Amino acid sequence: MSSVASVHSLWTVAAGAPGKIPAPHIEYTELSPTLIVLGAAVIGILIEALVPRRNRYYSQLLLSLVALAAAFAAVIGLAAGGFGSSKAHIAAMGAIAVDGPALFLQGTILLVSLIAVFTFAERRLDPAAHGNRVDSFAAQPAAVPGGPAEQAAVKAGFTTTEVFPILLFAVGGMLIFPAANDLLTLFIALEVFSLPLYILCALARRQRLLSQEAAVKYFLLGAFSSAFLLFGVALLYGYAGTVGYAGIAQVVSDGAKQIDPALAGTMGNDALLLIGAALVLMGLLFKVGAVPFHMWTPDVYQGAPTPVTGFMAAATKVAAFGALLRLLYVVLPGMRWDWRPVMWGVAIITMLGGAIVAITQTDIKRLLAYSSIAHAGFILAGVIATSEDGVSSVLFYLGAYSFVTLGAFAVVTLVRDAGGEATTLSKWAGLGRRSPLVAAVFAVFLLAFAGIPLTSGFAGKFAVFKAAAQSGAGWLVVVGVLSSAIAAFFYIRVIVLMFFNEPKADGPTVAVPSPLTTTAIAIGVTATLVLGLAPQYFLDLAGHAGVFVR
Amino acid sequence: MENLIALLVAAPLVGAALLLCGGKRLDRTGHLIGTLFSVASFALGAALFADMLGKGAGDRTLHQQLFTWIPVGGFRADVAFQLDQLSMTFVLLITGVGSLIHIYSIGYMAHDERRRRFFGYLNLFLAAMLLLVLADNYLLLYAGWEGVGLASYLLIGFWQHKPSAATAAKKAFLVNRVGDMGLSIAIMLMFTTFGTFAFAPVFAATDRTGQGTLTALGLLLLLAACGKSAQVPLQSWLGDAMEGPTPVSALIHAATMVTAGVYLITRSGAIFNAAPTAQLAVVVVGAVTLLFGAIVGCAKDDIKKALAGSTMSQIGYMILAAGLGPIGYAFAIMHLVTHGFFKAGLFLGAGSVMHGMNDEVDMRRYGGLRKYMPVTFVTFGLGYLAIIGFPGLSGFFSKDKIIEAAFARGGTEGWILGGAALLGAAITAFYMTRVMLMTFFGEKRWDPAEVHPHESPKVMTIPMIVLAIGSVFAGGLFSINEVFVKWLEPVTSFAHGHSPVSATTVTAATMVVLVIGVGIAWGMYGRRPVPALAPRGSLLTRAARRDLLQDDFNHVVFVRGGEQVTGTLVQLDRSLVDGAVTGTAASMGGLSGLLRQLQTGFVRSYAVQMLGGAAVLVAATLLMRGV
């Protein structure tokens, strides 16, 4: 067992045992990023209740931006104060970890959410309805699609400004998710960010039935996977007698020391450990969209309002991979010989499955959905490396990938025809002739997805594959590179379609967005190129953040 | 003084940069700027020469380390120069003849719209050629080697509006690539063998190196020399290169660049001395080429192509001498210098004739020009006497020594080589007399109504006069007390050859063949009128007119063969490679379509799949523990 302990210390540092904290004690400073965001969400609900309708949009927008920026500043402050390294510890009575990976991921989520708010607030793309500027969200989501109530709401110029507090609630949950240090906190965080996402998915202004169908599917399957996860939590509690990460890890590596009399029949039973771990893993794999738990992804990505899709694709993935990393590196390192082969299999079918099915897609949003599945596979390859390099490469990849994704979906909102966004791929033919700048920007994102050098995609992919190869999974890298080659086909096919095909007479036009979306896209392109041209600083940053607290 | 070496290269390089980047505002002064930089380089070279003469024979070698070009681990490439007696000789030849030809070109190119560019290219050539001979390592030499190749390409194709010029430039470039490949592989082999490619350490290491490696190195360097110096089998480009303006033919394709191969072999003497097999290959190439070029020169009616054949043949003499080892190096270089004078003079004379004859190059349309162009006639005539080895003139001294050294190789080889060199001397006398008679003697074969032959301006005749003086006296001066041989001895080493036939006999034999060659030519072209249209001629004549079928051979073997190989590869690419690619793509597409069926859109089937997935996940995890 000593070898396990030494491996264990590779990526974790010992913190004071949580049980020694004498009295309930909440470290408000360390938790401030989450508290700021959740507090702002509550204030946002109050704004909906108290502020006149015409002022809500601007107050909500301002509140969201300020709250997210303040939370990001708090994360930077904590990192500068050494909470990412020397002062990393477990806060909130063992429920929340404040360490390098947590702060890095929270920072990424907050930045991504900040940009997502820009795309949520865009009001120039949809044509004005009855003289009122409208965004991507339904006028009155509760109204029956196409019914008189909806028409009245549109005529009255209603908008769903609730999306901002809902978004903030989701962000709050996502901030907790990768930092959760016990299984119950993990589960609660999961629900806190999932429920707002289900709602956001249902709010599309156009094609509302599709949007609602997507939301229901997402909700049903999400609930289904939550149940698995919760069952897994129960089994793990039965095995270890605790839901705390450190406690479970100790039982996994050293065996149960003090048998709880109430759990005498189950504690230390390896079957419970194995089944429980597999079920908890499954819950997280569902969230990251790994094969075979990916079925929701294309349907939901396609049906949800595009700004929501972008936010979900970027931020959810960051949060879920963060939680997965912590689970595998802090709770289950002692049984990595059990889960590594299984996860190898998952990574392989995810990479191949995503890349292969994407080939025949005809809708740009579904294409990007399958692309996100393939990318989940690439990230999994880094996760399984079980080394410090593995952690830092995954952190870098998540940061790089989320900016590309947000930018790409923001571009999708611009290409429109009479029916709203023109997401059918064939309509994009010749886009490069009509709008060279937009097509070029999208091409940059596609090249980054494909992992072409000088884009962030290459730096990220190189980092995870390197980590995977060093951990001895060379053939996993081979499969990864093959999948990248398959994936490159459909990315480049879109570029060929945009630049080398004749535009259609009734093709879509590119709407001129407000500075909000322009800013979002510009940040996406800049991040993509900067992380591609000079990745070293950010790789170092991720490298410094690569140690979990235990 | 050693800090000035880089300036030799820098001066014409600055000139080239100015002229090529300066744009139209330099159009009116460009030729003067180019000439100025060339003369400046010559003046500096002369100053360095004077300085060198003031030192003892042993410490005349100067080094200048400019900077380290590529330092990567054990790989170190320096930009460093070495100025010794051998390089000094070349520097004076290149800048001296180069400056004269710059001056000549002021008149020759006076009416060309792109004159500024022409002088820019000439300066570029000078810089590259000086880099080639001043480098102290093979990699830097290679940079110069490629540089002169580029300048040669640009200048052959200078009149790019003529398709024949563009094609000739491309041909010269392609054939040279074959030789350049030899040099680049030689440098790589050198680096893997010796860990360096600087001259001194490489030469010092030859006695510790295996015979196989040294032979390979020697043969690769010979291949490079064949390409650059138009030796068999890479000789085919030189005739076509005459498409370039005549000053270019004089400077690059007669006096300097084409002799780079001789420089390379002489410079690498230490390698060749230790590799007898490679040396044998060198003398064979030299002997074959000296006859080959001479025969081609006999059949050409184009004055420049006849001279090009002659150049090929004379360089064959030099290569032959260089292949003989220490008994020949000094004579190879001596012949190179005297050849530089008389062949440049002959080409400038040919240019002067063309200048006066509306750019006509066919000698069958010349005739009786001596009255109209007296200066050209006299200077060309002196060059002619020099090249055929008329007693007392430059060629007499330098060529005689080579023939003597060829006999001195000893044994059957010596007799064969000496015999070939003597035969070459006879043919040289024949074809040069033919050129002389067809151009300046006999009756007029041109229409006085259309052509008005006239002497060229002073700016053109003065360089011709200077070169004629060199053609007359250089050989004699060099031979007083063997001063040239002693000058080069510290670099190339020298051994007196022991010829089975005495020096007097060789000289006498040379005189006899000279008289025979001139006599036959006189009989064929002096006594009888020259037909204005070429007669059909014998089989050999017809073959020689076609450059002894070299292009036909290359076409059948390399072009057709290359097309065959390419065709096969394209077929393989289409069927195998493309087949595999499209097959993979099609199967992936099919698989994709199949897997897509799973995405039914029904949440119930999604849930079932998830359940199945979870079951597999749990089972696999349990199984792992079981295993």
Task: With CB atoms and an 8 Å threshold, state whether A342 touches B621.
Answer: yes
- Averaged pLDDT, B288-299: 93
Of residues A274, A358, A359, nearest to B621 (C-beta): A274
Distance spanning both ends of chain B, measured CA to CA? 81
The alpha carbon of residue B578 is apart from the nearest alpha carbon of chain A, in Å, by: 15
- Interface confidence (ipTM) of the complex: 0.89
Q: Which of A159-173, A254-268, B90-104, B425-439 bottoms out in mean pLDDT, i.e. has the lowest?
A: A254-268
Given A216, A217, A342, which is nearest B617 (Cβ)? A342
* Per-residue pLDDT of chain A in tens (550 residues, 90 and over written 9): 444 444 445 556 555 555 555 666 888 999 999 999 999 999 999 999 999 988 999 999 999 999 999 999 999 999 999 888 888 888 888 899 999 999 999 999 999 999 999 999 999 888 888 888 888 899 888 889 888 999 998 888 888 999 999 999 999 999 999 999 999 999 999 999 999 999 999 999 988 999 999 999 999 999 999 999 999 999 999 999 899 999 999 998 888 778 878 888 888 888 899 999 999 999 999 999 999 999 999 999 999 999 999 999 999 999 999 999 999 999 988 888 888 999 999 999 999 999 999 999 999 999 999 999 999 999 999 999 888 889 999 999 999 999 999 999 999 999 998 888 899 999 999 999 889 999 999 999 999 999 999 999 999 999 999 999 999 889 999 999 999 999 999 999 999 999 998 888 888 888 889 999 999 999 999 999 999 998 989 999 998 888 888 7
Residue B481 DSSP symbol:
G
In angstroms, the separation between the Cα of residue B567 and the nearest Cα of chain A is 29
Which pLDDT score is estimated for B60? 86
Question: Predicted confidence band at B22 (pLDDT cuts at 50, 70, 90)?
Answer: confident
**CB proximity list for B337: less than 8 A, separation 6 or greater:** B89, B93, B398, B474, B478
Report the percent of chain B where pLDDT is more than 70: 100
Please name the residues in contact with B589: beta carbons below 8 A apart, sequence gap of 6 or more. Answer: A359, A360
Which of A344, A359, A490 is the mutation pick for testing B, counting most B CBs within 10 A? A359
CB–CB of A48/A162 below 8 Å?
yes
Domains of chain B, by residue range, sit at: 275-535, 555-625
Which residues sit opposite A98 in a β-bridge? Answer: A89
Give which of B581, B587, B599 to mutate to test A binding, by max A Cβ within 10 Å.
B599
| C-alpha dihedral sign at A216, A217, A219, A220 | positive
Q: Do A221 and B593 touch (CB under 8 A)?
A: no
Give the pLDDT confidence score for residue A23 in this predicted structure.
65
Q: Which residues of B touch A270 (CB under 8 A)?
A: 625
The answer to whether A363 contacts chain B (CB < 8 Å) is: no
Q: How far is B598 from chain A (nearest CA, A)?
A: 9
Q: What is the pLDDT of residue A1?
A: 40
Contact A357/B595, CB-based, under 8 Å?
yes
Question: Beta strands A89-91 and A96-98: pairing type?
Answer: antiparallel
Q: Which amino acid is at A372?
A: S
Q: Are A227 and B616 in contact (CB under 8 A)?
A: no
Lowest-pLDDT range of A213-217, B399-403, B538-542: B538-542
DSSP B496-541: ----SS-HHHHHHHHHHHHHHHHHHHIIIIISSPPPSS-----HHH
Taking an 8 Å cut-off on Cβ atoms, the answer to whether B625 and A338 are in contact is yes
B591 vs A contacts (CB less than 8 Å): 356
- Separation in Å, CA of B71 to nearest CA in chain A: 25
B147-156 mean pLDDT: 94
B367/A177: higher pLDDT: A177
Kind of pairing, strands A509-510 and A415-417?
A: antiparallel
Mean pLDDT over B436-459 rounds to 89
